[in-house]
Structure formats: C-alpha cells, structure tokens
Amino acid sequence: MGRDVDGPILEQPVDPIVSEDHPDDASLSAFFVALGVRRNAAIGGIAGLVVGGGAYAVRVLELFGPVAGTREYPVFGPDGWFLLLAFVLAVTSGLLATIGLTVRSAITRLREPTENHSEDG
C-alpha cells in the first residue's frame, strides 16, 4: 500500500512497439525487395489463375466427359460451387507458388558470397 505510483516507472515511458526486437519499415522493405517478393507474388498469382481456371474449365465444360452420377448443389448451382472451389484452388496454389519462389530466393541469397565478408577477411 505504500507504493509510490509517481515514481521512476512513470518517468520513463517505454513504447512497446519501438524496440530493438522489431525491425524498422525500411529494412523490412529492403528485405522483401531483396527476396523478390513482388515478382514472386505476380508469378504465383498467374500460376494460381492458370491452375484454378484450368480446374474450373475441366469440370464445368466437361472437357474429360460428363461426370457420372447426379448431385444437388444448393443456392449457387453446380457452376457457382465449382467457381468458388476454383477460386480457393487458385488462391492457395498461388500462395504456395509465391512461398516456394520466395524460399528459393532466400536460399539463393544465403548461399551467395557477400562482398562484405570477403573484404573483412
């Protein structure tokens, strides 16, 4: 009960967001540029659209023939449901491609000898 609430704890406010543990925006942006995340996201997005669009076309246009058996597809009908499934497939395969390309870029960057290490040497 005899605590001094106006003591030294309140004299030095600490911002929890700004600390040594969190990188600043400039270094994080440079990191993403070095890994080519924007290029990888574009390639992943195109790959996802191709995979999702291909799956949608195969199923809805019956490129491999009609589907055996009949089912009921509530609310959207079969075309709507397969469009939703194609969207999910496109997004997930695009993200998977983006992650794979970015990991490959990171591994490649880690294996490259840096100029700073050779000068310190």
Does any domain span residue 15? no
Does any domain span residue 119? no
Q: Look at residue 97 and tell me whether its pLDDT is greater than 90.
A: yes
DSSP 12: S
Are 49 and 89 in contact by the 8 Å Cβ rule? The answer is no
DSSP 27: H
CB atoms within 10 A of CB 89: 18
Please give the residue range of the domain that contains residue 63: 41-111
pLDDT category at 29 given cuts 50, 70, 90 is confident
pLDDT at 93: 94
Does any domain span residue 7? no
Does any domain span residue 31? no
User: The pTM is what?
Assistant: 0.62
Does any domain span residue 19? no
Q: Look at residue 103 and tell me whether its pLDDT is greater than 80.
A: yes
Counting the structural domains of the chain, the total is 1
User: Could you please report the per-residue DSSP string of 52-112?
Assistant: HHHHHHHHHTTTT-PPSS----TTTHHHHHHHHHHHHHHHHHHHHHHHHHHHHHHHHHHHS
